[in-house]
Amino acid sequence: MDIQTIMDKYLSRLPQGIATRVFNTIKDIPFVKKTIQKELDTMMAELEGSLKPYKDKVQSFAALPEKGLGKNDVISLMEDIHEKEASSWEDGYVSGAVYHGDPDHIEFLNKIYGFNSQSNPLHSDIWPSATKFESEIVSMTATMLGANKTDDDICGVVSSGGTESILLAMKTYRDRALKEKKITRPEMIVPVTAHAAFDKAAQYFNIKIIHIPVGPDCRADVKATKKAMTKNTIVIVGSSPCFPHGVIDPIAELSELARKKKIGFHTDACLGGFVVPWAEKLGYNIPTVDFRLPGVTSISADTHKYGYAAKGTSVILYRGTELRRYQYFTITDWPGGLYFSPTFAGSRPGALSAACWAAMVSIGEKGYMDATKKIIGTASIIKEGINQISELKILGDPLWVIAFASDQLNIYQVMDQMGQKGWSLNGLHKPACVHICVTLRHTRAGVAERFIEDLKASVEFVKANPDEKGEMAPVYGMAATIPFRGLVEDMMEKYIDLLYKVE
């Protein structure tokens, strides 16, 4: 009997709290422990083939070669790998991940990167261009997100990605609360659909995280947020949109709660920062989410997503330089001299900032408007197609990140079948669903239609073959149903271990 059968047969009928206590009681019984370990080992062995496709096919190095390879040999190896991997996303089979992907755009960014490959913003005296690029990236992003519609000084910095932007913001609110309000047990209020980076920030910076529920529309519950506020609350969070379901939280209502209590409010626009403003200008029904709302005190927006910059850059913006200063690190008595850093990293790749600046100024407002129009138009075709499949339902009212579930089928089996057809989609939990994040790769002729055609075929296959396990369906199924989260964490840790296993 495998662990999934144990869950289904003995624990699934119990309330989750009781099921967790029961599982914690029996998990160390030799039979159960052995069954769990065997199941996890089997899963990892089955996954290894897909995670390590170059095993025995491409030369690997567990240690430095005694004599370095010739540069042409290295280039040849890289070209071989590139050709294999590019085919998986070039034709629009991937959810998110590659947001632009046009060969001319990539070549342009690579050329800019080459000019600046030695640049390091830490040494602003040597590369003043890095500070020019980064200050203008921040200013352009801030203007796009309402800085020109407020009298406050909207400022920020460039980070390495959305996670760092979020971590920096939460660290900033923690430090401000400690200094200005003497809060030693800080709390942050975050919708359950907010990005996992907020949980990471809570763990890293010892901030208590209060998760609030979302309603049937998948948007954060304002009443629950108000009820969760305490004297230790330092920041409230809302997403524009959230990653799982692509819906925008009630930012106006949530930020007003924060403003009245004189605490921070963070709009996480990592995913939508370079889509939502243009969608609003295009006439779509978009709520205000940015600095036009007086309660919004910070915004994160990823330039390396729909800003179409190279991975990885992001922008974290603040309402006022006083707030931003709580993000900085400075040390005045180090024997190595005066040291300061605006972000977590010391040395940073100035070439990425240069490429980000180049992407933004070369695309311009018109380019972002055109891209947004294509993306939302394509998403509309996909939504219409999903709505025509009776076994599926779309969650919430998304614009371009479309999550769909099923009350009749195992949605992870549908995802597996789509994977067999070349599609790389995102499996989600609570509720069990799958989403596609529409990018410019999907706006090419015939891609949306091919997605719907393959989705219909996948649904029909699962209906006819409900016992077909597939590759990822058991993994997602186990993670979704096991009440003991420690076991799921163990599974994830084993997965990461496998990623670092030399082929």
Query: pLDDT tens, 278-326?
Result: 999 999 999 999 999 999 999 999 999 999 999 999 999 999 999 999 9
307, HSE (Cβ side, Cα atoms, 13 Å): 33
Asked if residue 497 has pLDDT above 70, the reply is yes
Q: Please, which pLDDT band fits residue 482 given cuts at 50, 70 and 90?
A: low
Helix (H) or strand (E) holding 312: none
Mean pLDDT of the chain: 89
Please state, in angstroms and as integers, the Cα–Cα distance from residue 473 to each residue in 119, 136, 371, 418, 458, following that order: 45, 45, 34, 12, 13
Domains by residue range for the chain, with CATH: 3-52+477-499 (no CATH), 152-347 (3.40.640.10)
Its sign, for the CA torsion 378, 384, 389, 390, is positive
- Over range 214-242, report the average pLDDT: 97
Tally of helices (H runs) and strands (E runs) in the chain: 17, 13
Asked if residue 476 has pLDDT above 70, the reply is no
- Name 69's Cβ contacts closer than 8 Å, sequence gap at least 6: 77
pLDDT of residue 52: 77
- Over range 126-147, report the average pLDDT: 96
Pairing verdict, β 187-191 and 208-212: parallel
Asked if residue 16 has pLDDT above 80, the reply is no
Q: Please, which pLDDT band fits residue 177 given cuts at 50, 70 and 90?
A: very high
pLDDT of residue 84: 83
| Higher pLDDT among residues 189 and 503, named by residue | 189
pTM of the model: 0.89
- pLDDT (tens digit per residue) in 202-220: 999 999 999 999 999 999 9
Which tokens hold the place of 196? Answer: 């996992």
| Higher pLDDT among residues 165 and 61, named by residue | 165
Please return the burial class of 13, using the count of CB atoms within 10 Å of its CB with bins 0-12, 13-18 and 19+.
Answer: exposed
Tell me which DSSP letter residue 68 carries. P
pLDDT of residue 478: 52
CB 268 within 8 A of CB 238: yes
pLDDT of residue 1: 45
Strand, helix or coil for residue 434: strand
| Higher pLDDT among residues 498 and 403, named by residue | 403
CA–CA gap between residue 45 and residue 289 (Å, rounded): 45
Asked if residue 486 has pLDDT above 70, the reply is no
- Over range 397-412, report the average pLDDT: 95
Which tokens hold the place of 43? Answer: 């899963």
Asked if residue 351 has pLDDT above 80, the reply is yes
pLDDT of residue 130: 95
Please tell me the least confidently modeled range out of 92-101, 456-465, 474-483, 484-493. 474-483
pLDDT of residue 90: 87
Asked if residue 13 has pLDDT above 60, the reply is no
Please state, in angstroms and as integers, the Cα–Cα distance from residue 327 to each residue in 145, 316, 350, 353, following that order: 20, 10, 20, 19
| Higher pLDDT among residues 18 and 453, named by residue | 453
Asked if residue 23 has pLDDT above 70, the reply is no
Which tokens hold the place of 363? Answer: 């695309």
- Over range 373-387, report the average pLDDT: 97
- pLDDT (tens digit per residue) in 138-164: 999 999 999 999 999 999 999 999 999
Asked if residue 111 has pLDDT above 80, the reply is yes
- Over range 416-439, report the average pLDDT: 93
* Strand ranges, E, within 439-490: none
CA–CA gap between residue 123 and residue 422 (Å, rounded): 45
- pLDDT (tens digit per residue) in 236-279: 999 999 999 999 999 999 999 999 999 999 999 999 999 999 99
Asked if residue 134 has pLDDT above 60, the reply is yes
Tell me which DSSP letter residue 219 carries. -
